[in-house]
Amino acid sequence: MTTNNPTVVLVYQRTSLPWVFESAERAGIDLVLVPRPDEPVSGALPPAVVDVLPLDLDADRAGALETLRKHHGTNPFQGIVTLYDPAVPFVAEAAELLGLPGIGRDAALGAQDKRLMRERLSEAGLNVPRFVRLNGPGEWEAAKELTFPVVVKPATGFSSLGVTKAETPETLEAVVEEVRQICATKLGGVDGLVVEEYLDGPEFAVESLAHGGEVRILSIGYKGDPEGPHFEESVYRAPAALPEDVQEDIRREVAAAHRALGVTDGPTHTELRLRGGVTPYLLELGARIGGSGVSHYIASHVTGVDFAAQALRIAAGLAPESTGDGSPAPVGAAANYIVPCGGFGRITAIHGLDELRNDPRVDHVVQMLFPGDVVRPYPDFTGYPAFVLSRHTDIAEAEEFHRLLERSVRIDYAPATDAS
């Protein structure tokens, strides 16, 4: 079907998470879907998808770029975008190659490589914990001079994969080696690490939209207070119940981080901690909509702004629709309960999810793990069992709902020989 709509290539988006497709349809933007290699598209296409273009970014990056170039020559598209963090540098490179809107490869790399991010934020005078970059094996002793506990991170990891806390200098070498093994087996052989001083305090996520260098903070949400050692994600509730002066400090720090990293256009998902409960320190700034679209769900229902639609407009070279100035006032509360693994082995049953599918507060139960699947113990990361996305009248109601889920949702396991 031929339309007059602008077309955007959407790279590695899971079709089981519907929001970005629905937003594209509302925005009048056609999508060319590059499916995830582990999720071939069959049957009816998602909303707004007019074509499917299989590419393998990991096995043949150069071939994928050449295929995009040829496709653009015969079927021009106006933009390219991804919600999948490891694909952000590829998308930036493709946009530069084809003369399309984008943040550029240098900004994309700075937003993904935690070594560069820490250095650029520090040079800009922003709040940064003391850190040491480890570029190869045998360098771990340089980090013994930091104040412990510390956190060891893959330089270009995602989903907290491999992020591990070392409590003392005596345990550091073993933790570094453990994280290196995760990099070798799960992250394509990434050899760079960051070791940084542990930040005490609760964690928050900030959803923002940048256009022409102007940064608009849409929402600030609470992400729990994980203490490690492996930082499994558990909740996301917005708007966060924070004093206005603390929120303003967060907005200033996040906007300044965009400038420091050169992220001038598009959506961002920033995670930070409030050190001592008051001072914002960035953990990471992702140049994308977070959580494969979960951040769109949260920000849109909190603010009434169609986050993904505005991001797609920017990707296509269009200005976002006017939604007022400054940070929008909350119009409601939204939440994501990330079902914890709570153990490891072969899943025999997951209790409590079926009842939630008919709960009027729940819009989506997105299940990723099922009975029969094997969950490996940390520091390995099998995946999240399920997301429970819900809407509420206020944040207190969302907090009470999550307390209910903590009691009612659980996973049963049997031993599995392949779970170690």
pLDDT digits (tens, 9 = 90+) for 345-384: 999 999 999 999 999 999 999 999 999 999 988 777 788 9
pLDDT digits (tens, 9 = 90+) for 74-102: 999 999 999 999 999 999 999 999 999 99
pLDDT for 189? 66
- CATH classification number, 130-197, choose in 3.40.50.300, 3.30.1490.20, 3.90.420.10, 3.40.50.2300: 3.30.1490.20
pLDDT digits (tens, 9 = 90+) for 95-131: 999 999 999 999 999 999 999 999 999 999 999 999 9
Q: Which fold has domain 7-110?
A: Rossmann fold (3.40.50)
Q: Are 273 and 246 in contact (CB under 8 A)?
A: no
pLDDT for 324? 66
Q: Are 250 and 206 in contact (CB under 8 A)?
A: yes
For the chain, the domains span 7-110, 130-197, 203-414
pLDDT for 195? 96
pLDDT digits (tens, 9 = 90+) for 230-277: 888 899 999 999 999 999 999 999 999 999 999 999 999 999 999 999
pLDDT for 161? 79
- CATH classification number, 203-414, choose in 2.40.30.210, 3.90.1150.10, 3.90.1170.50, 3.30.470.20: 3.30.470.20
Identify the band that residue 1 occupies on the pLDDT scale cut at 50, 70 and 90: low
Percent of the chain with pLDDT over 90: 79
pLDDT for 365? 96
pLDDT digits (tens, 9 = 90+) for 130-140: 999 998 777 88
| Count of CA atoms in the C-beta half-sphere (13 A) of 231 | 22
pLDDT digits (tens, 9 = 90+) for 14-67: 898 889 999 999 999 999 999 998 888 888 999 999 999 999 998 999 999 999
pLDDT of 7 higher than 80 = yes
